[in-house]
Structure 1
Amino acid sequence: MNEPVVTETAHETQLLEPAREALWQAVRGRDEYAARGVVFALQDTGVSVEDVLLDVVAPVQRRVGAEWAADRLTVAQEHAATAIHERVIAALAHRNVEPAPDGAAGTVAVSCVEGEWHALPARIVAEVLQQRGYRVDFLGAQVPTARLVTHLHQTAPVALALSSSLPTRLPDAHKAITAAQAVGVPVLAGGAAFGADGRHARRLGADAWAPDARSAAAVLDRGLPRPRSGAVRQTVEDLPHLADQEYTLIVRRKRQLVRNTLSGLDTRLPAMRSYGDAQRERTAEDIGHIVEFLAAALYTDDADLFAGFIGWTGDILSARGVPAQVLAPCLAVLEEELKDFPRALGVLKVGRAVVRGATPPAPGGVPTA
């Protein structure tokens, strides 16, 4: 699930804001012991574990991501800070250990989508649900759908809380949602991949969506009806636009598209001819990400998903001293490569408008060229 929006009283702000700043300084300095001391001291003042997690740890983790995007933290520093937060959460969970929940509220499986390595939001949700009295099976990052379904079939939880941060994992999320429902387990979706308003959770057929851990607990407290076991939906039942095969063909051609786009950029950008192996490898990775987000936009029929990625990528490049306009020739080459794919051309057109600084169209579909 996404980290929650912080809403506090003046008294809480007096208490929590200094803790957030102290935790930020600790994780930025790679000092796990100081970080643990901050959250333990806060808990000792009477702040609940849930509030420590959602109103201190989660906002600081958002700040870590923002500082990385602004090129003020390296990838290694971002990973180190995230690892400290993971260990701090574990320390909180094992401090003053209470008896395990008796399961009266039910068992909930909390899992990341296959291919999703960002497990911290899901871990926070799992801890909050445990604080609320649920028995939780936290399955962690990158759970293969087949293994997930086997676990659900064996344990029959009251719900699966499915987390994904990356929109490129939405096709895998769709598989997990339909597979879980086929064994009679309702799915509560959350995380940035599903959109700030949950639109992709609804599009992919999830039983519910929650923007944060508190909302997720509220949804589960109200209860989710079990879907009919054995009822398997075909992908095109949820997403009839996939009948045009554009998504499937582009996924299959990803390597060729990356290779051909690199070749086309050599012609359009002569400076690339002097790139070393490392620079060409990094450029190929960037093109690969563009193709993956294009595919995700085609899967969900949402050009706004691609527009958001291009805008974010442009901001990242600008923070690193590279003009966002360098994306334009890449998108132009892809348009040439995909000239027979009308929905893909419509998405790429939206992306080029973002690079030019134009306002992208209102969300709600993929325009055709």
Structure 2
Amino acid sequence: MTQRHSEDRGAAPAQAPWEKVPLDVHERLWEALREGDEYTASGVVLDAVEDGLSVEDALLGLIAPAQVRIGAEWAANRITVAQEHTATAVNERVMAALAHHPAHRPPAPHLGRITVACVDGEWHALPARLVAEVLRRRGWEVGFLGAHVPTAHLVADLHASAPRAVALSCSLPRHLPTAHRVVAACQDAGFPVLAGGRAFGTDGRYARALGADGWAPDALGAADVLASGLAGSLPRPGHRPVDDLPHLADQEYAVVSRARQELVRSALAGLEERFPPMRTYSDVQRDRTAEDVAQIVDHLAAAVYVDDDALFTEFLTWTAEVLAARGVPAAGLIPTLDLLAAALPPGTPRARRVLAAGDRALTAAPRH
């Protein structure tokens, strides 16, 4: 007897969810999102389902790619921040319209309960919402707690609802130190953690580094991992962050974190001299520059926390591309790194190494 697999010679490869959606449907949804037209957007998705697209494929093959496009269009400066927020809000409303449509209700839950939440400080809730909806379609009872869930409140809810696992979402790498504390708190309470979201790395490296019991790259992956069961190492009484990341014993992350305000202040004070275009900036432009410098410091601290230069360099090169799309010379980032290095407290060799890696990455990046 021969087993049949999609990899067998002559077998057609499985289609990705987005490939099951006609291109014109993708475009009509995008136009409605860009215009902030939630009724047209909902109609596009519901019509596609009526035409035979499964609800799961509508979620993952239509709504999810549209959200990725919203972020890409903002980064390329083709839509404003206001348009990006509006489009995201409309996309969330579309998802709700589909999820609550009386003709497309999920099956009765029979696999147990899963709690889905974003880490404290993480406001990007749509990826977590997608996971929650897919899990409901697969037969799970889902407690969706949404964005920015304080850790103490999450743990209290876990004790009250007793789920089989926690699906924890984190999109921004600067939140990884917080995510580590959340993972540990959930495990200390007796609940395994499935980590997901861009912050944990495209290969899940940071999920593993922070001691999560599992990792999934997307909603389908999360459903598969949970269906097979999480093989965690619970309980872990007295477990500390340094047990997962021994380099934290040098206290360098704590030193950099405590110096955050001074690092930002010093960099801004020196930028006007090192980067002459800043002398003509408006108050709004100066505020945006201050936000950018603060983001750089936060990602520097996160890179020190996980001891991985790539976390910082990837953020920095992405930032350079975003600035270039807005006509802001990305060259201003290099003196910013130099100023931060000069302002670092003594005893921070790993932070200096990360900044040097960032300098090399920017120097090697194509000029826009």
- Contact kept, 8 Å, 2:99 with 2:105, in 1: the verdict is no
Match in the other structure for 2:93: 87
Compute the displacement of 1:104 (Å). Answer: 2.1
List aligned pairs for 1:41-80, cutoff 5 A. 41-80=47-86
Per-residue CA deviation, residues 229-263 of structure 1 (Å, 9 max, x unaligned), is: 46231111111111111111111111111111111
Question: SS where residue 117 of structure 2 aligns?
Answer: strand
| Aligned counterparts of 2:195 and 2:115: Cα–Cα separation in 1 | 12
| Aligned-partner residue type, residue 254 of structure 1 | R
Question: SS where residue 170 of structure 1 aligns?
Answer: helix
User: Where does structure 1 lack aligned partners over 5 or more consecutive residues?
Assistant: 1-6, 360-369
TM-score, normalised on structure 1?
0.91
Match in the other structure for 2:355: 348
| Aligned-partner residue type, residue 213 of structure 1 | A
The higher relative CO (CA closer than 8 Å, separation ≥ 6) is in 1
Superposition CA RMSD, Å: 2.0
Match in the other structure for 1:156: 162
- Contact kept, 8 Å, 1:184 with 1:227, in 2: the verdict is no
| Aligned counterparts of 2:301 and 2:16: Cα–Cα separation in 1 | 46
- Given the alignment of the two structures, is residue 326 of structure 1 paired with residue 347 of structure 2, yes or no? no
Per-residue CA deviation, residues 78-132 of structure 1 (Å, 9 max, x unaligned), is: 1111001100110111102667755420100000010000000000000000000
| Aligned counterparts of 2:95 and 2:293: Cα–Cα separation in 1 | 36
| Aligned counterparts of 1:12 and 1:198: Cα–Cα separation in 2 | 23
Match in the other structure for 2:274: 268
| Aligned counterparts of 1:242 and 1:35: Cα–Cα separation in 2 | 47
| Aligned-partner residue type, residue 352 of structure 1 | D
Compute the displacement of 1:8 (Å). Answer: 6.1
Question: SS where residue 184 of structure 1 aligns?
Answer: coil
List aligned pairs for 1:168-247, cutoff 5 A. 168-225=174-231, 227-229=233-235, 231-247=237-253
Compute the displacement of 1:16 (Å). Answer: 3.1
- Given the alignment of the two structures, is residue 123 of structure 1 paired with residue 129 of structure 2, yes or no? yes
Q: 1:20 to 1:229 in 2, by over 3 A?
A: same
User: Where does structure 2 lack aligned partners over 5 or more consecutive residues?
Assistant: 1-12
Q: 1:213 to 1:9 in 2, by over 3 A?
A: closer
Q: 1:55 to 1:144 in 2, by over 3 A?
A: same
- Given the alignment of the two structures, is residue 111 of structure 1 paired with residue 117 of structure 2, yes or no? yes
**Mean alpha-carbon deviation: is it higher for 27-36 or for 92-101?**
92-101
- Contact kept, 8 Å, 1:182 with 1:227, in 2: the verdict is no
| Aligned counterparts of 2:324 and 2:282: Cα–Cα separation in 1 | 22
| Aligned-partner residue type, residue 274 of structure 2 | R
Q: 1:138 to 1:265 in 2, by over 3 A?
A: same
| Aligned counterparts of 2:62 and 2:29: Cα–Cα separation in 1 | 8
Match in the other structure for 1:362: none
Displacement over 6 Å in runs of 4+: none
Question: SS where residue 188 of structure 1 aligns?
Answer: strand
